[in-house]
């Protein structure tokens, strides 16, 4: 069990880790996308939870970065649906929102998110958090190409 396929997607595999950004704000998707693509991740986007689930079901992601407030299906519902679906249940989720209260943090965790960042997320903080959650070493140590 410790050697589940999931384990392969950890530190420093050669294919880029795939990240799904679920946010209704184009500008936020673009911002996260630019920041993370610059770090060498493969990016995908969805504009709400519903679309996010559909994407996650047909493609395996190493991490989902999810907004809380979205039309159609919000971030909480997205994580719940993700966790309830065997194919996607173990996907790590980083939730981001402009709400900074402790209650919001708690709600995110209760919904099943692995971590919570308050928007606006600084590029460095986003990159560092994503790298840690995906299991990638900080850039300098990482062999840039195998």
Partner 1 sequence: MNELLASFVTEARDLLAEAAEDLLALERTPDDEAAINRLFRSVHTLKGSSGLFDVAPLTRILHAAEDMFQAVREQGVALSAEMVDVALRTLDQTGLWIDALERNQTLPDTAAAASQTLAATLRAAFGSVATGGAAATAASPDTAPEAGAAAELLACFDATLRRVLSRESGSFRLITYEPDEACFFKGEDPLHLALQIPGMAALASTARSPWQTPDALDPFMCNLRFHALSRAGHDTLEALFRYVPEQVTILDIPAAALLHAIPAGAAPATPAANPLTGELLSAQLALLDAPAPEAERAGRWAAAADVARHVLQADGHNAAAASVAAAHAEAEAACLPGRLRSAIADVLANLAAVVPALAAAPAMPGRDAQARPAAEPPERTAPRTLRIDQEKIDQMMNLVGELIVAKNSLPFLARRAEQQFGQRELGREIQDQYSVIDRIAQELQGSVMAVRMMPMGQVFQRFPRLVRDLARKLGKQVELVIEGEQTEADKNVIETLFDPLLHMVRNCLDHAVEPPAERIALGKPETAIVKLAARQDSDQVVIEIIDDGRGLDPEKLKRKAYERGLIDEDRMAAMSDHEARMLIFAAGFSTAATISDVSGRGVGMDVVRNAVEKAGGRVALSSELGRGTTVRLNLPLSMAVTRVMTVTLHERLFGIPMDLIRETVRVPAADILRIKSSEAFLLRDRVVPLLRLASLLEMTEPEAAGDDVAVLVVRVGGQTIGLGITAFGEGMEVILKPLAGMLAALGGYAGTALLGDGRVLLVLDLKELIAT
Which residues, numbered 13-52, are part of the site for partner 1 (CB under 8 A)?
A: 13, 15-16, 18, 24-28, 30-31, 34, 42-46
Asked if residue 77 binds partner 1 (CB under 8 A), the reply is no
Q: Report the nearest approach of partner 1 to the CB of residue 79 (Å).
A: 9
What are the structure tokens assigned to 25, written together? 């704000």
Residues 6+ apart with CB under 8 A from 81: 49, 53, 73
Helix axes 49-58, 75-84, angle to 10 degrees: 30
Q: Report the nearest approach of partner 1 to the CB of residue 125 (Å).
A: 4
Q: Degrees (nearest 5) of the Cα angle 17, 124, 40?
A: 25
Backbone angles phi, psi at 96, to 5 degrees: -130, 140
Q: Which of 38, 57, 125, 139 binds partner 1 (CB under 8 A)?
A: 125
- Residues contacting partner 1: total by CB under 8 A: 73
Q: Which of 50, 84, 140, 144 binds partner 1 (CB under 8 A)?
A: 84
Q: Which of 129, 139, 140, 145 binds partner 1 (CB under 8 A)?
A: 129
């Amino acid at each position: 069990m410790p050697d589940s396929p999931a384990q392969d997607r950890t530190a420093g595999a050669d294919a880029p880790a795939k990240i799904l950004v679920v946010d209704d704000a184009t500008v936020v998707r673009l911002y996260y996308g630019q920041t993370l693509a610059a770090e060498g991740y493969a990016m995908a986007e969805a504009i709400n939870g519903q679309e996010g689930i559909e994407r996650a079901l047909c493609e395996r992601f190493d991490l989902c970065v999810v907004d809380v407030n979205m039309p159609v299906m919000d971030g909480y519902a997205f994580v719940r649906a993700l966790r309830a679906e065997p194919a996607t249940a173990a996907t790590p989720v980083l939730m981001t929102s402009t709400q900074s209260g402790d209650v919001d943090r708690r709600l995110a965790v209760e919904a099943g998110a692995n971590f919570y960042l308050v928007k606006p997320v600084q590029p460095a903080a986003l990159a560092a958090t994503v790298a840690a959650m995906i299991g990638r070493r900080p850039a300098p140590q990482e062999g840039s190409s195998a």
